[in-house]
Structure 1
Amino acid sequence: MKYSLIAAGILLASAAQAATIDAKTLVGASTPLQTAQYGVRNYSAPVLVNGLHDPANYMAAPKLPAWQFASADPTGGVLTFERNSAPATGWHARTRKTPVLVTGGGSATANRIYTVYNGQQLVAAINEAGNEPKIIRVIGHIDLRWSQNNTVFKEYTSYSDQKLGGSINLPSNTTLVGINDAQGRAARITGTALLIGGELALAPGGDPEADFKKWIADGKDGDDYPTWTRNVIVRNLVLDTPWDVNPEDSANAYADGLTVSRGQNIYLDHLTISDGDTPDSLAIAPYTTRHDGALDVVRGSDYVTISNSYFGKHHKTTLVGNGDSGRAWSDEGRMHVTFSGNWWDGATTRLPLNRYGQVHMFNNLVTGSVSTKDVDVKFESGTDARYRSNMLIENHYYNITGLKLTEFCGKAIKGKDYIGFRSSGHVFVSDKSGTNLVDGQCGLALPSTANLWTPPYLYALQTATATQTSVPANAGAGKLK
């Protein structure tokens, strides 16, 4: 096992020595609530929006899941892991000033512990608790297309109806967890986008970019800008990425499975994310893209960890940073994200695609095929270091059938326009190449000395070979009890 505890270059030496603080203390009176507009259906007709979302291309989800609704709590309300804080391993446990303990809603009082069985109960719990520490336990199957205690189903009627009525925004100081039902099935969310934060101006009607730029120009700390959503834990949930009933155009859908947007100190763990019952292959041309990201970290978000999660059947899996030079004002020097213990299995691209981010990836598993005829799971590209990114990738295990060793670099690991990239300790297995240790830069240029960094947290680094068995045993929803 390898251990690392060295302060990253972006952190002041004194910060590395500072005492750990509870992340909930960073949530102040000015922290916004963005919950009221979400989870409320408007059933509006489809219309063009700025020339996009052509009503002629409206298409309801072509297949619905086998519902696993629940109405009782098999635990009798006894908490087990729900109050747990996030571990100290990962970027989520840092700020520029001090280490933090991400507690989510761990300190919730009894009246701020909720057990929910449908979408309306979930929305009501969020709206009642606001930014107070809260634990929300999900049992069964949540879908905002269902109402009246999961007895009435109505498909989204338009882009507007889905964007607002089909999304749930999690405020600061939240722990959202799935509890296995009486049959041992993991809690599941379908047809519903989870949002953490949003890019806001300082006051209604203001401009988010202009306000933030002025804040920085005035010499203020960006971490103190009042619109961060902070201290959120999401664990042990199956998330089916929403089918977009009326996408932007033929290549771009709207809703992600989970989006972190202007969020900070966020811990996402033991999730299972895929297209569920509605892969893009069910779409009708020319609007063949009906999903956006599975899990994206965008719009200046910072200090996020994604761990022990399973990403299946999906295109455009994860963005860290959603734009190039036009996003420098929010993303430059931010987007610190850790990926560890995750399994990408039939996820086709963006594992992740990274702009600006200082991203640490270790002990992840990637399995797939470039030769399969199934377009929903055909491997196209893996980790992609893009504009101004700086990545450290350690000890991954790759099993990709149909891929030659000579193709590994440039397909499974690639990049351009980054400012730093280090990759080592991997094992690559394929029916074309046998077992090969890939222990180098994959032909990508070494970063300059100025851009070298080491994660500022303690982590245990397994061999890539150990990752082959440890990740499937642990990754995904339903494994926390």
Structure 2
Amino acid sequence: MFLAVALASACGGADSPVTASDSALLSAASTPLAVIDAKTLTDTTAPLLLPLAGTRTYSAPVETSSGHDPSNYKAAPVVPSIVPARSDPTGGVLTFERETAPLEGWHAWARDGAAGKHRQVLVTGGSSAAANRIYTVYTKEQLVNAIREARNEPKIIRVVGHIDFRVDGGVFKEYTSYDDLKSGGSLFIPSNTTLVGINDASGKPARISGTQILIGNENGNFEVDFKAWVAAGKNPDAFPGWTRNVIVRNLAIDIMWDVNPEDSANAYADGICVAWAQNVWIDHITMTDLPTPSSMSSDTRHDGGLDVVRGSDYVTISNSYFTVHGKMTLVGNSDGGRQWSDEGRLHVTFTGNHWQGVNSRTPRVRYGQVHIYNNLVTGDTNPSAANGTIPPGAAASDVKFASAIGVGYKADILAENNYYNMKTLKPKEVCGKLVTDHGKGVSFRSSGARFISNKDDAGKPMTATIDVQLQGCDGIPVANLWSPPYSYTLKTADTAKAEILANVGAGTL
């Protein structure tokens, strides 16, 4: 029951350095405090769900209060051939595994206890791991056992080869029900963790399938307990249960196919769900529905790609490749009922990422103060193969593009120097497509956006790259209420595009 509660929700000009304005609301501290190790902010007594995660139940499909009609059970159309690696191509020699996160991004900040102020921290993950807390894993069992053993201690987990959570004891066994999937297909990442993929000898990245990576969790009576904690006058950020100080890098992640979704329009499980977590750096990830794209079913079999939700804060997603998926990146998962957790939180940075062939959410934002700079979005509003017949290995161009940045409830977004390479999208249509108003947003500020399409406003071939004005689209408010508290190097959109194409995703470290 404990696990069921916790898992119920699936989660321009020349390049120049930019420094936040001292007068900005959220940069109000006049004297920066010393940088502290995020490890010192973690609660080593935080409750963990590790004994249950990754455990198969092999139960039969059953109807639940949220649906999951047994008649809707459907195994993934393509059963992959999983051949686990048997040796470490590096011979155990560490390279990037002990790296700490850069200071460029929201992940490197935390509340300092004063209203409206932030304190810089160093996200170290498991960089200080002792020798007996460095694990090289080839199977689901080794991966789960490493986390169970190390718990909240600093740890480095090196994934080699292809791990599919449906492989149990060396044998591929498809999930038998929603309950089997949510239990056996859950991987919880606790505080002070560095989880990285190791490239094989040919440069192919490590890969994880058949699981949802959960950074943080919202378990038991979390809302009741948290509200009581705050009502007692205690520091919300000291509440037991926060997951902090996590680094995930250089992994290819197949977004899980839901064998028995709750209904025809809603599936369970994201690729990565960050929920009730702080100080998280996700870098050089490749994420996709392949080899089982949603088009292989008449109903919804995938949920989100990478979601940052339910009170999470201080997160950066960088240099990652998102492709062949519907609703890809989400910040804040509900308008109503989440003020207690999301108001004043969800500070997230997106930089150096490439969304290619996704339907929407690059990202969609609620509540958060989100910085989106130097990213690349490519897509097609009228792909020739978007007819439900996409085979395994489909190209990203086979997914119909609907919208990019979504400005939702109380969202406050700063978008700078992003590049949009779109097919069949006319320049006059960028408002409503590249930025979409979902209602009641606080602000959307945009500058330096570049755009190219194969169609001009008259529907004729277009080859020129143009600057597009996204600020003010659809009457979305424009308010300069905050600046990033960190310094960052802002490249032109053209420069960013070239660097992203050469550097993005798993396998390039």
Give TM-score scaled by structure 2 length.
Answer: 0.89
Alignment of 1:205-284 (within 5 A): 207-283=221-297
The one-letter code sitting in structure 1 at the alignment partner of 2:488 is Y
Instruction: Please say if 1:165 is aligned against 2:179.
Output: no
1:242-391 → structure 2 map (5 Å cutoff) = 242-283=256-297, 285=298, 288-375=299-386, 377-391=399-413
CA distance in 2, matches of 1:289, 1:118: 29
Following TM superposition, by how much is the alpha carbon of 1:408 offset from its aligned partner in structure 2, in angstroms? Answer: 0.7
Report the equivalent of 1:9. 25
Q: Secondary structure at the match of 1:346?
A: strand
Matched ranges for 1:50-129 at <5 A: 50-97=65-112, 98-129=119-150
In the aligned structure 2, how far is the partner of 1:264 from the partner of 1:395?
A: 27
User: What corresponds to 2:7 in structure 1?
Assistant: none
Question: AA paired with 1:312?
Answer: T
Q: For the Cα contact (< 8 Å) 2:261–2:267, is it kept in 1?
A: yes
Deviation, structure 1 residue 96: 1.4
Q: 1:139 aligns with which of 157, 160, 169?
A: 160
C-alpha displacement at 1:318, in angstroms? Answer: 1.3
Query: SS of the residue aligned with 1:56?
Result: helix
Match of 2:9 in 1: none
Q: Determine the structure 1 residue equivalent to 2:468.
A: 438
Indicate if the aligned counterparts of 2:43 and 2:242 stay in contact, CA closer than 8 A. Answer: no
Write the deviation string for residues 49-101 of structure 1: whole angstroms up to 9, x where unpaired. 10400000000011033535211001000000000000000000000112100
Instruction: Note the C-alpha offset of 1:152.
Output: 0.9
TM-superposed CA distance for 1:448, in Å, is 6.2
Query: Equivalents in 2 of 1:65, 1:473: separation in Å?
Result: 29
| 1:413-452 correspondence runs (5 A) | 413-415=435-437, 416-433=439-456, 434=462, 435-445=465-475, 447=477, 449=479, 452=481
**CA apart distance, 1:442:** 4.5
8 Å CA contact retained: 1:73, 1:182: no
The whole-number CA distance in structure 2 between the counterparts of 1:51 and 1:126 is 31
* Contact kept? 2:431, 2:470, Cα under 8 Å: no
Deviation at 1:473, TM superposition (A): 0.6
Matched, 1:469 2:484: no
SS of equivalent to 1:253: coil
Shift of 1:409: 1.1
For residues 456 and 164 of structure 1, the distance between their equivalents in structure 2, rounded to whole angstroms, comes to 39
- 1:183-241 residue CA offsets vs partner (Å, 9 max, x unmatched): 3210000111110011135xxxxx22222222222222211111100000000000000
Distance 1:291 1:448 in 2: 34
1:42 partnered with 2:57: yes
> 2 CA distance for matches of 1:373 and 1:247?
28
Q: Secondary structure at the match of 1:322?
A: coil
- In 1, Cα distance between the equivalents of 2:447 and 2:67? 43
User: For structure 2, which runs of at least 5 residues remain unmatched after alignment?
Assistant: 1-14, 113-118, 387-397, 457-461
Contact 1:178/1:236 (CA < 8 Å) preserved in 2? yes
Q: Identify the residue that residue 185 of structure 1 maps to in structure 2.
A: 204
SS in structure 1 of the partner of residue 489 of structure 2: coil
SS of aligned partner of 1:325: coil
Q: Secondary structure at the match of 2:247?
A: strand
Work out the CA distance in 2 between the residues paired with 1:65 and 1:347: 23
Q: Out of 113-122 and 29-38, give the one that drifted further.
A: 29-38
Cα distance in 1 for partners of 2:371, 2:445 equals 10
**Counterpart in the other structure of 1:406:** 428
Query: What is the CA–CA distance in structure 2 between the aligned matches of 1:472 and 1:442, rounded to whole Å?
Result: 29
Deviating more after overlay: 353-362 vs 413-422: 413-422
After superposition, the C-alpha distances for 1:378-431 in whole angstroms (9 at most, x for unaligned) are 111111010001000000110110000010111111223101110110111001
Q: Give me the identity figure in percent.
A: 58
Distance 1:425 1:448 in 2: 16
- 1:334 deviation in Å? 0.3
Q: Give CA deviations for 1:270-322 in whole Å, capped at 9, x if unaligned.
A: 00000011011111x3xx10000010001000000000000000001111000
One-letter amino acid of the structure 2 residue matched with residue 374 of structure 1: A
**What does 1:21-32 align with in structure 2 at a 5 Å threshold?**
21-32=36-47
Cα contact 2:472–2:478 (8 A) shared by 1: no
CA–CA separation in structure 2 for the residues paired with 1:240 and 1:200: 25
Distance 2:329 2:89 in 1: 34
Task: Describe the SS at the equivalent of 1:272.
Answer: strand
Counterparts of 2:45 and 2:441 in 1: how far apart (Å)?
35
Query: Which structure 1 residue ranges, 5 or more long, are not aligned?
Result: 202-206
User: SS of 2:217's equivalent?
Assistant: coil
Q: How many residues align?
A: 468
Change (3 A) 1:37 1:403: same
8 Å CA contact 2:26–2:485 kept in 1: the answer is no
Find the aligned partners of 2:267 and 2:54 in 1 and give their Cα distance: 19
Q: Is the 8 A contact 1:32 1:229 kept in 2?
A: no
**Structure-1 separation of matches of 2:478 and 2:252:** 41
